[in-house]
């Protein structure tokens, strides 16, 4: 329901009311909007007790009244920021736990008692979770006023934390469920924990002075351009320099400390400066997105040059609102830090902000609060039972679920999908059957063959349809990416389904991988710098350096708006060089990590540095790349490997580099391990580069020995079913399991060395008196290079009982010095599971070898049942390592139910086994079954049952396609368009 009544203010009540207004400790934006609502409540004759950690001046500057009471208590820490733009996810969860979880019982008792002591008529929260529960305990109604909720924000942080702190999200949602309804502000995020919602206009602080008065007080004439540097009242942390500003500009700095010495052209604003007046008097604002800055920029039509924050889910929704009303210009964080501000400020001046909506949300919200406190019932009957968040989907990704919560996903998921696009990163391919009818657009293929692949045909067609007037930013950027008079190279690399092997790859296991139908396409153009079409900010940067054309890399990533990553990336290729040599991988990792919204570019641009470092390639031409992937992210089907392999293949093709698919895969693994910083094995890249359609790539990962392609028997079929739970090999769970595995191997080698020494020294024995074969085995095990080379029987006989279930990092390092894994780092304070992660790859290698042998055995029900049993054993071994998830367990259980159903038995068997895949902790389940129609029907039944139980409709992966090596590359050239007749019919 939307409420936008205009009035002269909140009418005075005949009854004096007392409000308790709780304010989150996250930033000043919440406190400033609370001030506007409180001002109207006090004007109507009520008392308001504000519970906050914000400074008094935020409230008293605007409200001077004896009816305002400020109580300094912090019950909600918000997001912990390492700096003005960087959120520390794990620290945020840890601090919330310290602030609101551990002292919870004490807080509830204290707040309930206080609320009753002040005789509160209504509790208002922006948006402190525990306040809603405390109000319920005190028998007082409560209402929330906000544009986001902490369950939504923390949901992403929980993904990074793994199993730790998962209960926080559910507890917050439970607290919010005690709130009677939500007063929702524009630019809102999905907030499924609230049962009733009422929309109001923007809550914006009123102006006290005109722009002319403000400029006069500042001593700024009309011919000077003003930019206000505003990071939500926090210090920006920037090392400001005079040359950051174009001629004729001044910068007003918010949040600067008294000790800061600012350079010329920068003016320090007082801590209690009234920013709405200054924003309205400025030509533009520069800073980070938050509700306060966005609402005041829109209300007072001040163009906003913004820099993305990482890990704050509120931001995409506010950003979309800014851009919708032509009020926002995105600045690359690298340009903010280096002072390359001019092109962005100049672009801001050309905007025509168009927001004409209401800005009286404070008044409307206050009126609703007053009426609620007087007894009016705003809650609707139809939703009154939906009091708890049970399943949550965050921008299309399902969270790991708490046990026992089995109702449907909240309705907002559909809304979020409508607003942000489909939940799976979209390729230009709309539908396979449609794509078959497409030609190659207006391109001639000079080299290569599309091999009848519908997604490749559709990708070429989409290239030909790029238009610079496209509304979506990524399409608009792509349209200006290429010089259409020059050749373009196109490559394709598929994702993969992990049939067997999974996380045992980094332990040297045999693995079996099937390339899937979904793939990543890359279009690349190599062009002389003098002919390169540069984006405006890149051109301005080059002009600032003297104007001589130099090699630049420009990348556009389709599907970026479905997440919070920037759709474009650019850099001078000279940034990869230092003193005539390529920079180190560690420096490159830091280079890409400085702007998390563009960290995705490391997967693409990192290939260039790896080629420079490993093969000595030098890049003198500019490079333009378009990346379009239909491999869904976070689902355990190697979306990152497909991007890396397609990117490096395109770079190699355009530069005439003859790199074998195997070597290319190994180079791509270096990109992910050393530049991206994800500790993956090599099987993903090998499957994407070397796989073939409808075959399993068999590889021993020591480090990457392909032993052949295994035909999938005609009677057997594999499917992948997505659990909807986001997975990342860069996440904490995968990395900790890998560390535990290497710890276990180090302990085994130490034990073998000890046994070897004892065997030779005990009772004066010498080598001749000891079984030589036993000594040889111990020698091999003392110098074990890959854990999978240890047979299961030797592991059980000598080592299994000596391994601890877990160990603290510090204790392990004291005993063993290191774990000999170059791509992971042991945290001294963290406890690592050891025995299960060590056991898994030893047995998994045996299972994979057995699986491979069974595939070539005679076709029978026994064959299928045995193959399925091996998948089940692998699945439960993952769980023992801590890499399971509720969603994948549910899918495996559903497969088991159908496998043992009477209907399956009457058909002679349909589905036979299932397992979690890849890095685990969610992602996709691999299913094996008989290749028949009834099996496909049962797969769809699993899909429907899962949706009924969780509300999430799983994506089904079926079908296969060639790897990048088999596809090769296309070299295409745009046809010259025929001249059109003029409007008078002439030629």
How much is the average pLDDT of 100-115? Answer: 96
* Res 841 pLDDT > 90: yes
Tell me which of 758 and 944 has the higher pLDDT. Answer: 944
Q: Could you tell me what percent of the chain has a pLDDT over 70?
A: 88
Task: Tell me the C-alpha to C-alpha distance, in Å, between residue 253 and each of 203, 238, 276, 287.
Answer: 24, 11, 14, 10
Q: Is 575 a catalytic residue?
A: no
How many other C-beta atoms can be found within 10 angstroms of the C-beta atom of residue 431?
9
Can you give the pLDDT at residue 545? 80
The pTM for the full model equals 0.79
On average, the pLDDT of the chain sits at 86
Can you give the pLDDT at residue 633? 82
The backbone torsions φ and ψ at residue 943, rounded to the nearest 5 degrees and listed phi first, read -60, -45
* Res 439 pLDDT > 90: no
Please enumerate in sequence order all residues whose Cβ is within 8 A of that of 741, keeping only pairs 6 or more positions apart, or say none.
506, 507, 787, 837, 838, 840, 841
Can you give the pLDDT at residue 544? 82
Residue 156, SS3 per DSSP: helix
Please enumerate in sequence order all residues whose Cβ is within 8 A of that of 559, keeping only pairs 6 or more positions apart, or say none.
425, 426, 427, 474, 628, 629
Residue 822 to residue 679: CA distance in whole angstroms: 9
Can you give the pLDDT at residue 103? 95
Per DSSP bridges, beta strands 197-199 and 181-184 are parallel
pLDDT band at 8 (very low <50, low <70, confident <90, very high): low
Instruction: Enumerate helices (H) and strands (E) in the chain, giving the number of each.
Output: 34, 32
pLDDT band at 140 (very low <50, low <70, confident <90, very high): very high
Domains, the chain, in order of start with CATH, read 18-204+365-400 (3.40.50), 211-357 (3.40.50.2000), 485-692 (3.30.230.10)
Residue 765 to residue 569: CA distance in whole angstroms: 67
Q: Give the lowest-confidence range in 137-146, 739-748, 763-772.
A: 763-772
Tell me which of 870 and 533 has the higher pLDDT. Answer: 870
Please write the tens of the pLDDT for every residue from 759-793: 776 544 454 544 677 888 898 999 999 999 999 99
Under 8 Å between Cβ of 508 and 859: no
Instruction: Pick the most confident of 453-467, 657-671, 725-739, 820-834.
Output: 657-671
Residue 193 to residue 187: CA distance in whole angstroms: 17
How much is the average pLDDT of 705-726? Answer: 91
* Res 982 pLDDT > 90: no
How many other C-beta atoms can be found within 10 angstroms of the C-beta atom of residue 640?
28
The tokens describing 808, both together, are 């603290």
Please write the tens of the pLDDT for every residue from 524-577: 999 999 988 888 888 888 888 877 889 999 999 987 655 567 788 999 999 999
How much is the average pLDDT of 496-512? Answer: 93
In the numeric block, the tokens 């730790």 are attached to 164
The tokens describing 204, both together, are 């914006």
164 CB-contact burial (10 Å; exposed 0-12 / middle 13-18 / buried 19+): middle
Q: Give the lowest-confidence range in 130-139, 505-514, 537-546.
A: 537-546
pLDDT band at 408 (very low <50, low <70, confident <90, very high): very low
Residue 622 to residue 604: CA distance in whole angstroms: 15
Q: Of 216, 232, 219, 208, which Cα lies nearest the Cα of 300? A: 208
Write the DSSP assignment of 71-138 as a string of letters.
Answer: EE--------BSSSSBB-HHHHHHHHIIIIITTHHHHHHHHHHHHHHTT-SEEEEES-HHHHHHHHHH
Q: What is the largest CA-CA distance in the chain?
A: 109
Give the angle 402-403-405 at the CA atoms, nearest 5°. 80
Write the DSSP assignment of 270-306 as a string of letters.
Answer: PTT--HHHHHHHSSEEEEE--HHHHHHHHHTT--EEE
* Res 719 pLDDT > 60: yes
pLDDT band at 923 (very low <50, low <70, confident <90, very high): confident
Residue 731 to residue 919: CA distance in whole angstroms: 9
Helices (H), 139-286: 150-161, 166-177, 211-218, 275-281
3-class DSSP string for 951-981: CCCCCEECCECCCHHHHCCEEEEECCCCCCC
The tokens describing 459, both together, are 């990708």
The tokens describing 27, both together, are 């930033």
Q: Give the lowest-confidence range in 378-382, 644-648, 800-804, 978-982.
A: 978-982
Under 8 Å between Cβ of 180 and 133: no
Residue 479 to residue 477: CA distance in whole angstroms: 5
Number of residues that make up the chain: 987
Q: Which of 76, 121, 151, 684 is catalytic?
A: 684
Task: Tell me the C-alpha to C-alpha distance, in Å, between residue 787 and each of 506, 510, 734.
Answer: 9, 12, 17
Q: Give the lowest-confidence range in 667-681, 908-922, 968-982.
A: 968-982
Residue 502 to residue 133: CA distance in whole angstroms: 44
pLDDT band at 619 (very low <50, low <70, confident <90, very high): very high
Q: Which helix (H) or strand (E) holds 611?
A: helix 601-615
Q: Give the lowest-confidence range in 80-84, 106-110, 704-708, 775-779.
A: 80-84
Under DSSP, the state recorded for 97 is I
* Res 987 pLDDT > 60: no
pLDDT band at 48 (very low <50, low <70, confident <90, very high): very high
């Amino acid at each position: 329901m939307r409420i936008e009544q205009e009035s002269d203010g909140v009418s005075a009540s005949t009854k004096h009311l007392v409000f308790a207004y709780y304010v989150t400790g996250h930033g000043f934006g919440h406190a400033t909007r609370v001030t506007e609502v409180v001002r109207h409540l006090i004007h109507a004759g009520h008392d308001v007790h504000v519970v906050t950690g914000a400074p008094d001046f935020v409230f008293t500057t605007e409200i001077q009244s004896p009816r305002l009471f400020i109580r300094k208590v912090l019950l909600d820490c918000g997001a912990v920021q390492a700096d003005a733009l960087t959120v520390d996810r794990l620290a945020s969860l840890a601090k919330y736990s310290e602030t609101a979880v551990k002292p919870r019982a004490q807080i509830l008792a204290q707040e309930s008692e206080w609320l009753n002591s002040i005789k509160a008529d209504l509790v208002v929260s922006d948006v402190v979770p525990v306040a809603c529960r405390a109000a319920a305990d005190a028998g007082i109604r409560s209402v929330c006023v906000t544009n986001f909720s902490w369950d939504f924000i923390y949901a992403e942080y929980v993904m990074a934390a793994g199993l730790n702190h998962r209960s926080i999200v559910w507890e917050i949602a439970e607290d919010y469920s005690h709130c009677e309804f939500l007063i929702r502000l524009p630019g809102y995020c999905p907030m499924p924990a609230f049962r009733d919602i009422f929309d109001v206009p923007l809550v914006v602080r009123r102006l006290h002075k005109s722009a002319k008065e403000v400029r006069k007080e500042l001593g700024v004439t009309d011919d000077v351009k003003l930019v206000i540097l505003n990071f939500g009242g926090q210090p920006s942390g920037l090392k400001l320099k005079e040359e950051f500003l174009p001629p004729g500009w001044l910068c007003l700095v918010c949040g600067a400390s008294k000790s800061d010495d600012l350079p010329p052209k920068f003016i320090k604003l007082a801590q209690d400066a009234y920013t709405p007046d200054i924003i309205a008097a400025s030509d533009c604002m520069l800073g980070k997105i938050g509700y306060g800055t966005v609402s005041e920029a829109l209300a007072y039509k001040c163009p906003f040059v913004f820099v993305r924050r990482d890990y704050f889910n509120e931001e995409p929704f506010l950003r979309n609102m800014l851009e919708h009303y032509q009020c926002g210009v995105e600045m690359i964080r690298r340009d903010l830090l280096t002072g390359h501000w001019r092109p962005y400020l100049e672009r801001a001046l050309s905007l025509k902000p168009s927001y004409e909506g209401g800005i009286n949300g404070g008044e409307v919200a206050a009126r609703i609060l007053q009426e609620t406190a007087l007894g009016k019932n705003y809650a609707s009957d139809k939703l009154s039972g939906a009091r708890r968040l049970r399943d949550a989907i965050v921008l299309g990704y399902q969270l790991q679920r708490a046990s026992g919560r089995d109702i449907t996903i909240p309705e907002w998921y559909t809304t979020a999908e409508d607003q942000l696009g489909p939940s799976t990163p979209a390729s230009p391919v709309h539908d396979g059957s449609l794509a078959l009818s497409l030609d190659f657009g207006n391109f001639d293929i000079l080299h290569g063959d599309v091999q009848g692949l519908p997604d490749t045909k559709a990708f070429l067609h989409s290239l030909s349809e790029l238009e610079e007037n496209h509304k979506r930013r990524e399409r608009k950027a792509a349209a200006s990416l290429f010089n259409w008079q020059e050749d373009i190279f196109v490559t394709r690399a598929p994702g993969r389904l992990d049939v067997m092997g999974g996380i045992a790859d980094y332990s040297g296991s045999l693995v079996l991988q099937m390339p899937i139908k979904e793939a990543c396409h890359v279009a690349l153009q190599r062009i002389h710098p003098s002919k390169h079409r540069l984006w405006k900010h890149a051109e301005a940067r080059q002009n600032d350096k003297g104007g001589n054309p130099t090699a630049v890399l420009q990348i556009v990533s389709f599907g970026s708006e479905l997440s919070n990553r920037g759709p474009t990336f650019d850099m001078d290729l000279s940034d990869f060089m230092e003193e005539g040599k390529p920079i180190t991988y560690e420096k490159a990792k830091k280079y890409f990590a400085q702007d998390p919204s563009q960290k995705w570019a490391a997967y693409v641009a990192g290939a260039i540095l790896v080629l420079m470092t490993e093969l000595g390639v030098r890049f003198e031409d500019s490079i333009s790349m378009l990346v379009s992937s239909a491999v869904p992210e976070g689902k355990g089907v190697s979306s990152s490997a497909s991007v890396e392999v397609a990117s490096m293949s395109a770079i190699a093709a355009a530069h005439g580099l003859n790199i074998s698919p195997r070597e290319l895969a190994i180079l791509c693994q270096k990109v992910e391990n050393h530049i991206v910083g994800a500790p993956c094995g090599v099987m993903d890249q090998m499957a994407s580069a070397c796989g073939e359609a409808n075959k399993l790539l068999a590889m021993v990962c020591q480090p990457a020995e392909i032993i052949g392609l295994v035909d999938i028997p005609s009677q057997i079929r594999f499917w992948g079913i997505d659990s909807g739970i986001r997975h990342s090999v860069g996440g904490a769970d995968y990395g900790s399991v890998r560390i535990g595995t290497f710890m276990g191997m180090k302990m085994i080698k130490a034990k073998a060395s000890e046994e070897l020494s004892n065997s030779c020294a005990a009772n004066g024995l010498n080598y001749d008196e000891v079984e030589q074969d036993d000594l040889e085995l111990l020698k091999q095990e003392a110098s074990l290079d890959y854990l999978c080379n240890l047979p299961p029987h030797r592991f059980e006989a000598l080592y299994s009982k000596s391994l601890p279930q877990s160990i603290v990092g510090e204790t392990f390092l004291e005993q063993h010095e290191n774990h000999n894994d170059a791509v992971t780092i042991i945290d001294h304070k963290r406890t690592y599971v050891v025995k299960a992660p060590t056991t898994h790859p030893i047995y998994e290698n045996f299972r994979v070898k057995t699986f491979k042998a069974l595939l070539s055995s005679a076709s029978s029900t026994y064959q299928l049942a045995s193959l399925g049993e091996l998948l089940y054993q692998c699945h439960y071994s993952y769980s023992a390592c801590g890499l399971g998830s509720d969603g994948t367990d549910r899918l495996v259980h559903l497969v088991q139910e159908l496998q043992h159903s009477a209907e399956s038995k009457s058909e002679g068997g349909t589905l036979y086994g299932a397992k979690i895949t890849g890095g685990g902790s969610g992602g996709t389940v691999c299913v094996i079954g008989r290749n028949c129609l009834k099996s496909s029907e049962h797969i769809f039944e699993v899909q429907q049952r899962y949706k009924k139980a969780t509300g999430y409709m799983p994506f089904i992966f079926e079908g296969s396609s060639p790897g990048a090596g088999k596809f090769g590359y296309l070299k295409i050239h745009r046809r010259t368009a025929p001249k059109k007749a003029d409007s008078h019919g002439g030629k």
